[in-house]
Amino acid sequence: MPTLTPLIRLGTSSWAYEGWQGLVYHRSYPKSRFNQDTLAEYATYAFDGAPLFSTVGIDHSFYRPASAKQLAHYAEQVPGDFRFCSKVWEEITIPAYANLPRYGARAGKPNPRFLDASAFCDLVLAPAQAGLGEKLGPLIFEFQRWGLEPTAFLNALDQFLGTLPPGPPYATEVRNPAILGLRYRDILRAHGVAHVYNHWTAMPPLSDQHRLLENTFTAPFVVFRLLTPLGVAHEKAIERYKPYDRIVQAQPRMRQDTIALVHQAVAEGKSAFALVNNRAEGCAPQTIQAILAGLRT
């Protein structure tokens, strides 16, 4: 079986799923420690005689910044060449708070920290660098489908990216297809920021996203997040796929597009991070195994 280049990193959007017990996890964990202590076994999970996962997403940091201590605990469980892809706190990426109970009195109001570079550096970047060190992979700014209209958003994004400290790998995930285009591509390329190719409910297929960027990668690395089937809402995907212990419905085009784009990235000497969510097909580890098989052919 051909060995993959180290430029390709495969992993899951998160790791704390009890439905993977017996598949990825074979040790016993106290329920109160499952989220914190399963990474060591995740990082050593072998498929075809070699560890399958060399990266993972930290999704919970979207809702609250992870502390340096928490991140250091994650880092000490994985080998030195492992990389974490961390979602940036939503306080930095949402222009206004949605009308949801979790926002309390802030619901429906403008967010004063939207694209606040100082807040990002102090509350997100500093603990990430302190806790993860060299294991820090791409920091992902996830922008929701609704918010600013495309021109205003791109103006604000350009200004924001220009104020970020150089060095860390940054990536943007947009969920409004109208943003995709040459200006978005040129802004990312000017700042060395990667576009996150996201397979998500209301976005175009991955290959169409690439076409809208004129088949150009914008940074020395590429990020893929395979989240939900196209046209299927997150809540519906949860209902359909729980408890995430098997493939329920394969997504052939998603797999094919991912494999083709990863091959292109590697041919151009770029590293590729592919993160798979259980809601994409039903069982992220098994989706990754299928993608790995495709990459090897």
Q: Which domains does the chain have, with CATH numbers?
A: 8-296 (3.20.20.410)
Q: Taking 70 as the threshold, does the pLDDT of residue 1 lie above it?
A: no
Q: What is the pLDDT of residues 104-113, one digit of tens each?
A: 888 888 889 9
Q: Taking 80 as the threshold, does the pLDDT of residue 3 lie above it?
A: no
- Distance (Å, whole) CA 115 – CA 163: 10
pLDDT for residue 86: 97
- Distance (Å, whole) CA 29 – CA 42: 13
Per cent of the chain over pLDDT 70 is 99
Q: Taking 70 as the threshold, does the pLDDT of residue 269 lie above it?
A: yes
Q: Taking 60 as the threshold, does the pLDDT of residue 13 lie above it?
A: yes
Question: Cβ of 49: how many Cβ atoms within 10 Å?
Answer: 6
Mean pLDDT (whole number) for 164-193: 97
Q: Is 100 exposed, middle or buried (0-12, 13-18, 19+ CB in 10 A)?
A: exposed
Task: Say if strands 136-143 and 50-51 run parallel, antiparallel, or are unpaired.
Answer: unpaired
CB distance 59 to 276 below 8 Å: no
Q: Taking 90 as the threshold, does the pLDDT of residue 172 lie above it?
A: yes
Q: How far is CA 278 from CA 88, 103, 153, 242, in A?
A: 21, 26, 30, 8
In this predicted structure, which of 86-90, 170-174, 217-221, 234-238 has the lowest mean pLDDT?
234-238
Mean pLDDT (whole number) for 22-49: 92
Q: What does the block give as tokens for 193? A: 């920021």
DSSP character for 103? G
Find the radius of gyration of the CA atoms of the chain.
18
pLDDT for residue 2: 59
pLDDT for residue 35: 85
Mean pLDDT (whole number) for 140-161: 94
Q: What is the pLDDT of residues 111-132, one digit of tens each?
A: 899 999 999 999 999 999 999 9
pLDDT for residue 89: 97
On average, the pLDDT of the chain sits at 95
Per cent of the chain over pLDDT 90 is 87
- Distance (Å, whole) CA 270 – CA 249: 31
- Distance (Å, whole) CA 69 – CA 126: 12
CB distance 97 to 69 below 8 Å: no
